[in-house]
């Protein structure tokens, strides 16, 4: 079950969302060994329970850099969200959550925050590594510049 603080935070961020329409109060997450394994589990879930909602954030992550697959299915009378991630995706997401808590900033939502920009670029680099494709030539330089801009925030929050 989603923690009460997380539910309240989501309702504050999405004021038009009513609690009875929130589809991810209950859910589960599977951390899998590879993207290929995510695709196999995803197909099995879709075959067994038609999705009420489906979001694939792997090929085109949002601005935050979050990657994973979310499938909302009906279980009895409840809508349950199933999140599928690789270990790399999971580690990135947990790091963003921990940094948000320590810095007192919603890093995923605050696109202008330097740590948001840094984590989005780190996600891109991690995806390149995970998918065994070369990093874009300027990615390392952009990470370095964002790291320098984020350093004062990180030092304050982690020091």
In the β-sheet with 78-86, what is the strand arrangement from edge to edge?
26-32, 78-86, 69-75, 53-56
Alpha helices of 14-86 — where are they, by DSSP H?
35-48
Averaged over 130-143, what is the pLDDT?
94
pLDDT of residue 8: 74
Q: Quickly count: other Cβ atoms within 10 Å of residue 138's Cβ.
A: 9
Token output for 118 = 């840094």
Indicate whether 159 pLDDT > 60. Answer: no
| Per-residue pLDDT, 2 | 61
87-103 and 114-130 are packed helices; what angle lies between their axes, rounded to 10 degrees? 170
Integer CA distances (angstroms), 5 to 69, 86, 106, in order? 23, 26, 13
Model confidence at 122, pLDDT cuts 50, 70, 90, reads very high
What pLDDT score does 11 carry?
74
> Is the overall model pTM greater than 0.85, yes or no?
no
């Amino acid at each position: 079950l989603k923690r009460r603080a997380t539910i309240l935070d989501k309702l504050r961020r999405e004021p038009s969302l009513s609690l009875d329409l929130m589809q991810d109060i209950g859910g589960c997450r599977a951390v899998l060994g590879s993207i290929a394994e995510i695709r196999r589990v995803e197909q099995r879930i879709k075959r067994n329970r038609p999705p009420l909602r489906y979001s694939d954030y792997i090929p085109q992550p949002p601005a935050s850099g979050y990657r994973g697959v979310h499938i909302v299915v009906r279980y009895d009378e409840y809508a349950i969200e199933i999140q599928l991630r690789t270990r790399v995706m999971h580690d990135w997401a947990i790091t963003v959550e921990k940094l948000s808590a320590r810095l007192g900033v919603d890093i995923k939502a605050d696109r202008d925050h330097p740590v948001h920009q840094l984590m989005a670029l780190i996600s891109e680099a991690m995806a390149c590594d995970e998918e065994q494709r070369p990093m874009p030539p300027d990615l390392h330089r952009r990470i370095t510049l964002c790291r320098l801009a984020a350093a004062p925030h990180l030092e304050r929050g982690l020091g």
